[in-house]
Amino acid sequence: MELVRGLHNLRERHRGSVVTIGNYDGVHRGHQHMLATLVAHSRRLAVPATVVTFEPTPREFFEGDSAPARLMRLREKVEALPLYGVDRMVVLGFDRRMQGMGAAEFVDRLLVRGLGARHLVVGHDFHFARRREGNIETLRAAGVEHGFEVEEVGQFLLEGERVSSSLVREALERGDLERARRLLGRPYRMAGRVRRGQQLGRKLGYPTANLALHRKVVPLWGVFAVRVSGAGLVDHPAVVSLGTRPTINGTEPLLEVHIFDFDGDLYGRYLDVDFVQRLRDERRFESLDALVEQMHVDAAAAREVLGI
């Protein structure tokens, strides 16, 4: 998949596309339904299937630290979208300039001159541009003028509910990983590069790969049974603690991964962590000895869940 950052990096060769626009946070089953339509038209017209998204998200721009936790970082989205047939991802910086861009300018600069859109796929009640002034009818009128079609894709329902990023986020906050899996069509995943830590886990008998999350807010907390891939590992069983490590007065969210029956150097390597089952809340222990006792319990519980 080709990654293009910013309107200014669109070139003549990018003209001729089937396009969808949105945050695509989580790439859940509702998104996958949209992407299937996108890809079908891209193959019919023999042009790239193109997803346009924003960084930061509009809600992050307007709400700052009060914005909902992301399900995916940009890198994770870049990894996920090609799995569903996307050929190109255009990431637009959401800043004051983008905030103030009117609907006509957005259509002209992005869809007409930038991407030469042949077909546009959008969700129900789609709005865009300054003060959400653009809508599906705006796009259809522009399509008549500039020669592209606009298709509105209906809601994707699961168990009578519209699948959305908010619904996935709610399931994760409750620790309902099975429901999150059904909404996503796959286990919930977080990823990151292994960094050097304080080596405390090794001293306590549970060496961990510490993944920097680069997130201000995370969508779930606690201790989990997981499977890890990357650096030669494929769905390898592990137990993780996701939180701020209150027992040692930590403050930064950190994903600590203890990989069962593994002894290798993972520093600097990139790992994918698939969450299988929540074991307990994160909590503060009165001593490191008490923490180690609980780690024994957590490890045994994770092994049982993962069948090892």
Residues identified as active-site: 256
Residue 125 burial (10 A CB sphere; 0-12, 13-18, 19+): exposed
For residues 43 and 41, what is the distance between their CA atoms, to the nearest angstrom?
Answer: 5
Q: Which residues pair with 54 in a beta bridge?
A: 92
Residue 44 burial (10 A CB sphere; 0-12, 13-18, 19+): exposed
Classified as helix, coil or strand, 283 is coil
For residues 284 and 245, what is the distance between their CA atoms, to the nearest angstrom?
Answer: 8
One-letter amino acid of 159: E
For residues 9 and 122, what is the distance between their CA atoms, to the nearest angstrom?
Answer: 23
Residues 87, 90, 34, 173, CA torsion sign? positive
